[in-house]
């Protein structure tokens, strides 16, 4: 069987399309590919055991030969592949209707089906993600998770050079709903086979999709219908609660809405969620208060996190919003924590989870984005001595203890290993890691394998980078001040 025909069988087998769609898909595929395909009728029992990549590779190679793919780059292959897989992706309304009809059975069934489809259509490139490095690092905070993400394509210089100016960009950003079915170009990934599900949160229109780079299981993104900037307000909490009430098997959280402490996209209101457990879910607390049938815990965690647990949605919404208002103006000069200069600096990273017993856990990570002469990148941001491992913003995923480290580190780790073995004589290519190699790694060689040593020590650097983001450090004096903040707030709230 030709790979093109096998691909149609694959689509039917994996329920991307129905067997009734066979002839239609055959003709559409032939048009998209632009080369004649001898007609082969549908065979019900022909089960293609191959992965989608094995089926797609020869087709994409031929598309390159015939000029359908202009150049042999990952980006250009991906653009055409998404366009090709759109043949097996029903229209947005059909996907929405299917999702809603499954949701009438259970919300879990609906998300399972949508996630399965996102993977089988190769919108989520499972085989590429499988190449990511993943490991665990032991620490006084518990086991933290580290991934080196290789599935997010590195932009080549040409792609950056052709990047359009913001104002005339269409779609305006990677999150806008207009990405659905968009072919893309060198600086905008192909979204021909991309689909989203409309969901109302706090009676406002939002859309739910999966991240194509899945940093963790069922990594979902929920974005506003309009291209409006991120903002944490009372509405944010209501939207988070609406979402977890509708999809209780998913958590949902928001990045802080300020530069430095926020995520990479601040100009489009969005949240991230999914079906995964994170190291922070197992974090111990060093202090606990109970108030109005809710518990308030201060976590033993590198960042400053307040964990609120309760069963009453309205009470939790009220306390979350009150805390936000209280904290916005909270400062402590002894900690270098200043809430306001000419602009506001305090921010929250909220993360909400609903449990099978209907209770909720709300995490509020306390953030501040002020800079100083000593720390021009941010006082509560990874400090320069950690930049060789982590210099990007610490967003909600990392707040929860899952490090997303850049792909460049994989090569760097190999070269560092060669250097430590004496096979590599210079710091060429690993210059940014020189101090770390000389002051830490070289002194610790011996007990573990070099690979383990490098990975574990890199993990420790990541944890220290998180500690830099903590407003209250994990020492007795700061813990006392953090307790005072909580007590002060509860007192203020009860009055
Ligand atoms: Zn947008």
pLDDT tens, 226-283? 999 999 999 999 999 999 999 999 999 999 999 999 888 899 999 999 999 999 999 9
How confident is the model over 125-160, as pLDDT tens digits? 999 899 999 999 999 999 999 999 886 654 444 544
Predicted confidence at residue 166, as pLDDT, reads 64
Q: Which of 51, 68, 85 is the last residue of a domain?
A: 68
Predicted confidence at residue 326, as pLDDT, reads 98
The full length of the chain comes to 495
Q: How far is the centre of ligand 1, averaged over its atoms, from the C-alpha of 229 (Å)?
A: 9
User: Is 152 exposed, middle or buried (CB count within 10 Å of its CB: 0-12, 13-18, 19+)?
Assistant: middle
What's CA 152's distance to the chain center, in Å? Answer: 11
Asked if residue 184 is part of any domain, the answer here is no
Q: How far is the centre of ligand 1, averaged over its atoms, from the C-alpha of 272 (Å)?
A: 15
- The string over 29-53, giving b where at least 16 C-beta atoms fall within 10 Å of a residue's C-beta and e elsewhere, is beebbeeeeeebebeeeeebeeebe
Predicted confidence at residue 297, as pLDDT, reads 98
Give the ranges where 432-475 is alpha helix by DSSP (H).
434-436, 442-444, 450-469
The larger pLDDT score, comparing residue 1 to residue 5, is at 5
Q: State how beta strands 285-291 and 294-299 pair.
A: antiparallel
Tokens standing for residue 116: 């399965």
Predicted confidence at residue 158, as pLDDT, reads 52
Q: How far is the centre of ligand 1, averaged over its atoms, from the C-alpha of 223 (Å)?
A: 8
Angle between helices 107-120 and 92-103 (to 10 degrees): 140
Q: Mean pLDDT across the stretch 298-318?
A: 98
Q: How far is the centre of ligand 1, averaged over its atoms, from the C-alpha of 219 (Å)?
A: 19
Nearest residue to 403 via CA among 473, 463, 474? 463
- Sequence-separated (6 or more) residues with CB below 8 Å from residue 222: 199, 201, 206, 207, 208, 209, 243, 252, 270, 271, 272, 273
Q: State how beta strands 402-405 and 142-148 pair.
A: parallel
Predicted confidence at residue 298, as pLDDT, reads 98
Give SS3 for 200: strand
Q: How far is the centre of ligand 1, averaged over its atoms, from the C-alpha of 78 (Å)?
A: 21
Q: How far is the centre of ligand 1, averaged over its atoms, from the C-alpha of 222 (Å)?
A: 12
Asked if residue 362 is part of any domain, the answer here is no
Q: How far is the centre of ligand 1, averaged over its atoms, from the C-alpha of 377 (Å)?
A: 26
Q: How far is the centre of ligand 1, averaged over its atoms, from the C-alpha of 268 (Å)?
A: 5
Whether the pLDDT of residue 321 is over 70: the answer is: yes
Give SS3 for 437: helix
Predicted confidence at residue 209, as pLDDT, reads 98
Q: How far is the centre of ligand 1, averaged over its atoms, from the C-alpha of 177 (Å)?
A: 7
Whether the pLDDT of residue 442 is over 70: the answer is: yes
Label residue 8 by pLDDT band (50, 70, 90).
very high
Distance CA 197, CA 180 (A): 11
- The string over 323-343, giving b where at least 16 C-beta atoms fall within 10 Å of a residue's C-beta and e elsewhere, is bbeebeebebeebebeeeeee
Give SS3 for 40: coil
Q: How far is the centre of ligand 1, averaged over its atoms, from the C-alpha of 211 (Å)?
A: 15
Q: How far is the centre of ligand 1, averaged over its atoms, from the C-alpha of 241 (Å)?
A: 23
Most distant CA pair in the chain, distance: 79
The larger pLDDT score, comparing residue 84 to residue 495, is at 84
Domain that residue 14 falls in: 1-68
**Phi and psi at residue 309, to the nearest 5°:** -120, 145
Whether the pLDDT of residue 302 is over 70: the answer is: yes
Q: How far is the centre of ligand 1, averaged over its atoms, from the C-alpha of 70 (Å)?
A: 28
Distance CA 413, CA 275 (A): 30
Asked if the peptide bond before residue 171 counts as cis, ω within 30 degrees of 0, the response is yes
Tokens standing for residue 151: 């599935």
Q: How far is the centre of ligand 1, averaged over its atoms, from the C-alpha of 224 (Å)?
A: 8
Whether the pLDDT of residue 200 is over 60: the answer is: yes
Q: How far is the centre of ligand 1, averaged over its atoms, from the C-alpha of 270 (Å)?
A: 9
Domains held by the chain: number? 2
Asked if residue 454 is part of any domain, the answer here is yes
Asked if residue 59 is part of any domain, the answer here is yes
Tokens standing for residue 306: 């307040």
How confident is the model over 208-227, as pLDDT tens digits? 999 998 999 999 999 999 99
Q: How far is the centre of ligand 1, averaged over its atoms, from the C-alpha of 207 (Å)?
A: 12
Predicted confidence at residue 153, as pLDDT, reads 57
Asked if residue 14 is part of any domain, the answer here is yes
Give SS3 for 146: strand
Q: How far is the centre of ligand 1, averaged over its atoms, from the C-alpha of 170 (Å)?
A: 9
The larger pLDDT score, comparing residue 426 to residue 158, is at 426
Worst-scoring range by mean pLDDT, 21-25, 76-80, 126-130? Answer: 126-130
Q: How far is the centre of ligand 1, averaged over its atoms, from the C-alpha of 231 (Å)?
A: 14
Predicted confidence at residue 157, as pLDDT, reads 45
Q: Mean pLDDT across the stretch 337-354?
A: 97
The larger pLDDT score, comparing residue 157 to residue 493, is at 493
Q: How far is the centre of ligand 1, averaged over its atoms, from the C-alpha of 257 (Å)?
A: 15
How confident is the model over 466-492, as pLDDT tens digits? 999 999 999 999 999 999 999 999 999
**Phi and psi at residue 79, to the nearest 5°:** -60, -50
Angle between helices 450-469 and 408-421 (to 10 degrees): 130
Distances, alpha carbon 380 to alpha carbons 434, 463, 483, in Å: 24, 13, 19
Label residue 46 by pLDDT band (50, 70, 90).
confident
Q: How far is the centre of ligand 1, averaged over its atoms, from the C-alpha of 265 (Å)?
A: 9
Q: How far is the centre of ligand 1, averaged over its atoms, from the C-alpha of 180 (Å)?
A: 12
Q: Mean pLDDT across the stretch 446-471?
A: 95
The larger pLDDT score, comparing residue 357 to residue 165, is at 357
Q: How far is the centre of ligand 1, averaged over its atoms, from the C-alpha of 99 (Å)?
A: 24
Q: How far is the centre of ligand 1, averaged over its atoms, from the C-alpha of 388 (Å)?
A: 31
Q: Mean pLDDT across the stretch 85-96?
A: 98
Asked if residue 428 is part of any domain, the answer here is yes
Whether the pLDDT of residue 415 is over 70: the answer is: yes
Share of the chain above pLDDT 90, in %: 90
Predicted confidence at residue 448, as pLDDT, reads 82
HEC letters along 80-111: HHHHHHHHHCCCHHHHHHHHHHHHCCCHHHHH
Q: How far is the centre of ligand 1, averaged over its atoms, from the C-alpha of 247 (Å)?
A: 24
Predicted confidence at residue 198, as pLDDT, reads 98
Asked if residue 194 is part of any domain, the answer here is no
Q: Which of 68, 88, 115 is the last residue of a domain?
A: 68
Distance CA 301, CA 482 (A): 12
Give the ranges where 104-189 is alpha helix by DSSP (H).
107-120, 126-129, 157-161
Predicted confidence at residue 152, as pLDDT, reads 67
Asked if residue 178 is part of any domain, the answer here is no
Nearest residue to 306 via CA among 77, 450, 489, 72? 489
Q: Which of 68, 88, 113 is the last residue of a domain?
A: 68
Q: State how beta strands 270-274 and 360-368 pair.
A: unpaired
DSSP string, 288-300: EEEETTEEEEEES
């Amino acid at each position: 069987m030709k790979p093109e025909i096998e691909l149609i069988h694959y689509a039917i087998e994996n329920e991307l399309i129905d067997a009734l769609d066979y002839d239609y898909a055959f003709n559409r595929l032939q048009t998209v590919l632009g080369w004649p395909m001898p007609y082969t009728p549908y065979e019900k029992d022909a089960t293609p055991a191959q992965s989608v990549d094995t089926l797609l590779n020869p087709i994409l190679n031929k598309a390159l030969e015939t000029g359908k793919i202009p150049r042999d780059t990952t980006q250009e292959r991906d653009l055409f592949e998404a366009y090709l897989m759109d043949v097996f992706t029903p229209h947005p309304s059909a996907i929405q209707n299917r999702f809603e009809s499954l949701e009438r059975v259970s919300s879990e069934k609906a998300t399972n089906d949508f996630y399965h489809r996102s993977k089988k259509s190769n919108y989520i490139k499972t085989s590429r993600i499988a190449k990511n490095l993943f490991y665990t690092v032991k620490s006084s905070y518990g086991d933290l998770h580290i991934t080196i993400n290789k599935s997010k394509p590195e932009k080549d210089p040409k792609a950056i050079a052709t990047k359009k100016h913001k104002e005339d960009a269409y779609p305006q950003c990677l999150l806008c709903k207009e990405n659905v079915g968009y072919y893309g170009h060198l600086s905008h990934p192909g979204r021909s086979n991309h689909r989203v599900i409309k969901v109302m949160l706090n009676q406002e229109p939002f859309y739910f999709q999966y991240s194509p780079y899945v940093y963790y299981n069922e990594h979902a993104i929920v974005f506003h219908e309009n291209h409006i900037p991120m903002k944490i307000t009372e509405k944010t909490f209501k939207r988070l609660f609406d979402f977890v009430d509708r999809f209780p098997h998913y958590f949902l959280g928001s990045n802080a809405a300020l530069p430095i402490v926020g995520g990479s996209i601040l100009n489009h209101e969005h949240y991230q969620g999914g079906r995964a457990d994170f190291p922070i879910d197992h974090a111990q607390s060093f202090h606990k208060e109970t108030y109005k049938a809710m518990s308030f815990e201060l976590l033993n965690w590198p960042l400053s996190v307040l964990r609120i647990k309760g069963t009453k949605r309205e009470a939790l919404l009220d306390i979350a919003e009150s805390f936000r208002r209280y904290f916005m103006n909270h400062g402590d000069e002894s900690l270098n924590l200043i809430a306001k200069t000419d602009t506001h600096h305090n921010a929250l990273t909220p993360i909400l989870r609903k449990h099978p017993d209907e209770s909720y856990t709300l995490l509020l990570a306390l953030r501040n984005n002020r800079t100083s002469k000593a720390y021009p990148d941010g006082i509560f941001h990874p400090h320069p001595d950690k930049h060789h491992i982590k210099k990007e913003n610490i967003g909600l995923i990392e707040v929860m203890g899952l490090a997303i480290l850049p792909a460049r580190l994989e090569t760097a780790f190999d070269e560092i290993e060669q250097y430590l073995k004496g096979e590599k004589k210079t710091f060429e290519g690993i210059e940014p890691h020189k101090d770390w190699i000389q002051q830490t790694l070289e002194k610790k060689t011996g007990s573990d394998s070099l690979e383990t040593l490098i990975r574990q020590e890199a993990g420790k650097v990541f944890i220290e980078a998180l500690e830099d983001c903590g407003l209250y450090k994990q020492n007795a004096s700061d813990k006392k001040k953090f307790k005072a903040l909580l007590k002060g707030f509860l007192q203020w709230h009860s009055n």
